Structures are given as C-alpha cells and as structure tokens.
Chain A
C-alpha cells in the first residue's frame, strides 16, 4: 500500500492506533532508562538522580565478570556468527539453488529437520562434544554451535535469494568469460547484497541476544557474554540490585537499538526476496 492510498484522516488514524499499541513498550523502556539513573525505586516511581547504578562501566562488580569484557565477548560472538553465517550460508545456498549433485534433496530436507529441533534437546550432546574437542568454555566453541544451529534456516532464506536471480544473468557472465566462482562473487553476491545485508543484521542481533548457549557452554567469568552477566545479576538470590540491573539492561539494549535504527530500512528487504531491482 502506498502512502497515498490512505487519506490524511486515515493516516492520522493509523498513526494514532500505532501510538496507542506501542505505548506500553515505549513507557516500559522510558521507565527503564529513568530508573537506571535513580537512587531508589519505590513501587514504580524512581527517586533521586545518581550515576551509581552505572558503576559497572568503571569498575568490575564483586564476584561478577567485567561488563566491558562481557560486552566484548558478546560483540565478538555476534559479529563472528553474522559474518560466517552469511559467508558459509551464501555458498551453501548458491550450491543448493544452482547445482545438481547427489544427495541434494536429502540435504535440503535435512536442513529443515535440523532447524525444527529445539536446541535445548541437544545441549547435553553439544556439551559432551565440545568438551571432547577441547572447545568447552571457549568462545570459538559456542560460535561453532550457534552457527550449526542457525545456518539451516539461513541457508534456506539465502537459497530463496539466489532462486530469485534469473539463470540468464548467470549464464551471460559465464559467456562473458568468468569462471563459476567469479560469477558467484562478481554477479550473484552483488545482486542479492541487500538481502544478505539484512540477513547479516538479523544474524548479528540473534547472536547479541543469545543467552542459552553462552550460559551453558561458557561458565567462567572471563568468557561470559553480556546476556549471561545480566542473568547472573538479576538472578541473585541474596539481593538483586534493581538499579544496577536496569542500568546494565540499558547498556545491553543500546547497541542492538543502534544497529536496528541505523539499518532498519535495509531489514525490510529480507521479505522482498532480497534482490535489488
């Protein structure tokens, strides 16, 4: 629907409805931000102004991982996952979209089956395998696991992108004298770049938000990610410092919000097949 399809009154109506619907979320995040700078919270009302809740920025909390180290781990984790998911996924997706080889159908079917398993059911097996490989409690290990679990869906999505590129364009490049791998690099990838970009951002956000895998597979403080640090702070039985938790929440959300705000216009393209017209 184009913007013109709705009259000026209709547009205000739609905007109004959306504002009302999203208000609870906005209020919630606004409160979170406010609370992170407050001394105390009684009921729902924050009191006083302080930076003490943000002390994790300049000091390591007792018995906890350093927030910056955790953020670094989260960033490494998310970026590596995004990069490799796109790289490996794009190669696999191209092969599945364009080449015929023995076992192609089986491979396609099994990627979907893999994706339909809840990853929790695999945790014990993953734990044992990682330990045997010496990758337990190592970032690289969790990255591998995350890749393995998320790649199937990624391959399917990217296969859809490649399917949308006409054969002719690829054949033209072959006739123009390029080898298959160069055609992939010089023609196919640029053609689906918007889709790949959107997919990379989703992969990054998914990595940034990942909790279960790092929680189980990265027990030591040095390798903790932000999501695990968050959980550890808010899950304390003895006392939960709500001010601290809110501040850390804001710290944790900000990069995701920033990435989203900067890239949201590209994200929509993942649904339009990812091919640039």
Chain B
C-alpha cells in the first residue's frame, strides 16, 4: 500500500510544526525523513499514524483519504523515538498487545509472537519485563510489537538513536532486511544523515517544518539542490568559499579567476567543495596553513586556514602535513558546487578549461 501526503500541514495553536509537505512513499519503499531537531519529523510521522489530525492537506493510504481515520482504522505499525514499551507487561505481552485488541485465540497469538520474536532474535527475552532489558533489546521489542500485526505501513521514529555505534549498524541492516523481506511501505525518521543515506531508497530532507527535497541518497550527496542540504549532508561537512562571477569568469578568493563554460549571471556565490575533493598538490589552486590534523584511522582530516576561510580536507594516513606548515591545495572543480549566496539554490556551472 502506498502512502501519499498532499500539502499536509499541522499547527499547534500558533506554532506551525509542519507545512505544505507533499510526499509519496511507494509500495514497499523505504523513505527516510532527515532533518535537524525540531524540524517536524516526528510530527509528520504522527500525522501519518493518525495520532495527529492535519490542519491542512490530505493523507492517502492506497488512494483512500484517511484524514479522519483513527489510528485503529489506519492500522500502521510504529516504533516510537522512546520505544514506549508498556512497563507493566512482559516482553511477550508487549508484543502480543496489538493482537489482543480482538479476541483472537491464545494459541494463535502465542505462535505469531514467537515467530516475530524469532525473526528479530529476541525469543529468549519473552518472559522478561522492559525494565530488565538493555536499550538495544528494548528497541527490538518495540520493532517486534510494530511488526507483529503485519502492518502494510511501518513508521520508525529514530529507532536507533539510543544504540551504540556497532549495534546501530547491525540493527539498521536488520530493519532493512526485514522491510525488504516483508515488503512493508516504510517511513524512517532520523536526524543522523549517515543512517538515513545508508538505509533509504529515497531521503526526504526537512527544514523548519517543510520538506525541501526528496531524492535518492546518491543524488543528495552528489547533486545537493541547495546550500542547506549541501551543508547538512556529508561528514566531515562541505567547505564553502566565497566566489564572484564577473565577465564570464569565476573568481574564488585567493584563486586565479577561471573562465566559465556556460554563462552564469554575475553576482556573489558560494563555492562548495567536499573535503575529499581537495588534494595536496605542488601546483594547487589554493595556499593554506595547516592548523590541526585529526587522525581518523584510515584517513586524516586536515584543517587549514585559507584567508578568512577554514578548510577541511581528507588525506591518506601518513600524508606529509605538519601543523603550522603551508600547503598547496588542488580543487577538483568538476566535483565542486556553486550556490547563490542569497537564495542558497544550486547553480549549475562548468569551467571552460576543465569541462564536466
């Protein structure tokens, strides 16, 4: 079943939490909602679950408008940001809880609980209570509870936020596997971009209650449509250099002006370059002074000052950079991005002497 949001908005009194969100999640697709804290991700999820009623717009499940349908009628599975297990019930009863709405046969319930618990690998935890579980185990129980009624739509609100890095990765893969296996239409909320990019078919980026882009993870990284997204996606984050376009040439602070292949309106811009697209080179475009070297195992993250700007670049471990030394950096122009300094929108460009 596909889920469609059409210009959905939600206001709490005078606070606008979500505004004009339009999104289609195809059948069996996993879409991640990504954005900084307070941007309206949870609110969007609650709207889809039926816990909040939209103040504007329409929500459709499989082509049917569900704006006025209660959570019971929508029948989604949901994992809450805080897990929200029932503290007074055992793990078994927690998972069985959605099945006990209707008076199903006890044996039938037990069998379904056991099956889903096996699937997620928590069969041995069934007799315990939530307070006797670790954060990761609670997360799995919450996932079981969401899956046990075999929902057509699954909503996950930062389900991995309380896990350590290793467990987070393992569970992420597990969620993806289960979601594919069962073909569940899924909305996955995260404020961790690496998590969103790695798990999703498509990623929706939210900012200030609006959905500002929905793209595949690769597109989002390689072709960010705005400065906000370029800045938000990618660790370490993208570098920005002030730039001007004059007389058909692109002038970047401290770099010889270069002729443009296609006309770009004159004005001020920001040139965005990812740390992996700056290289140490004898005859580079930029001169900078190294002021910090962070050794991160396989790679080193080098911080260097270039005029007013502070640049980050990635080098292989053991590179010849010392704090305080001056280095020359080559820019991979073809991988750089140009953003309007006012609107922040991406502006396509290419250099005449370095065609894309």
Contact = CB atoms under 8 A, between A and B. Distances in A.
A187 B81 contact: no
Contacts of B249: none
A190 B71 contact: no
A170 to B, nearest CB: 8
B84 A166 contact: yes
A176 interface: yes
A259 interface: no
B80 A172 contact: yes
Contact of A177 (B51, B71, B85, B86): B71
Contacts of A179: 72
Given A191-B87, A276-B87, A173 B76 contact: no
B161 interface: no
Nearest to A165: B87
Given A175-B50, A191-B86, 16 more contacts: A169-B84, A169-B85, A169-B87, A171-B46, A174-B51, A175-B71, A175-B76, A175-B78, A176-B98, A177-B71, A177-B72, A177-B98, A178-B72, A191-B87, A191-B88, A276-B87
A236 interface: no
B131 interface: yes
Interface string B89-108: 00000000110010000000
A186 to B, nearest CB: 8
B87 A168 contact: no
A102 interface: no
A191 B130 CA distance: 13
A253 B72 CA distance: 51
B296 to A, nearest CB: 36
A277 interface: yes
A187 B86 contact: yes
Among B46, B82, B86, max chain A CB count under 10 A is at B86
B88 to A, nearest CB: 5
Contacts of B77: 175
A193 B76 CA distance: 29
B136 interface: no
A166 B98 contact: no
Interface residues of B, number: 26
Nearest to A277: B131
B75 A177 contact: yes
Contacts of A169: 84-87
8 contacts: A168-B81, A168-B83, A172-B145, A173-B86, A174-B71, A175-B49, A176-B97, A191-B88
A29 to B, nearest CB: 38
B86 A175 contact: no
A277 B80 CA distance: 19
Contacts of A173: 86, 97
Contact of A168 (B76, B80, B98, B101): B80
Contacts, number: 59
B171 to A, nearest CB: 19
Contacts of A276: 87-88
A174 B72 contact: yes
Closest 4 CB pairs of A and B: A168-B84, A176-B98, A172-B84, A177-B101
B82 A168 contact: yes
Given A177-B75, A276-B87, A276-B88, A171 B98 contact: no
A277 B85 CA distance: 12
B11 to A, nearest CB: 14
Contacts of B97: 173, 176
Interface string A172-214: 1111111100000001001101000000000000000000000
Nearest to A171: B51
Contacts of B86: 169, 172-173, 187, 191
Contacts of A191: 86-88
Nearest to A180: B70
B98 A190 contact: no
B72 A172 contact: no
Interface centre among A168, A172, A178, A277, by most B CB within 10 Å? A172
Contacts of B84: 166, 168-169, 171-172
Contacts of A171: 46, 49, 51, 80, 84
A190 B93 CA distance: 14
Interface string A247-271: 0000000000000000000000000
Interface string B32-50: 0000000000000010011
Nearest to B81: A168
A56 B60 CA distance: 75
Pick from B51, B86, B88 the residue with the most CB of A within 10 Å. B88
Given A171-B51, A171-B80, A176 B87 contact: no
Given A171-B80, A172-B78, A178-B72, A277 B87 contact: yes
Interface in A1-55: none
A175 B142 CA distance: 12
Contacts of B70: 174
Nearest to B51: A171
Interface in B127-148: 131, 145
A277 B86 CA distance: 10
B78 to A, nearest CB: 5
A173 B78 CA distance: 10
Contacts of A168: 80-84
A121 B277 CA distance: 83
Interface in A206-239: none
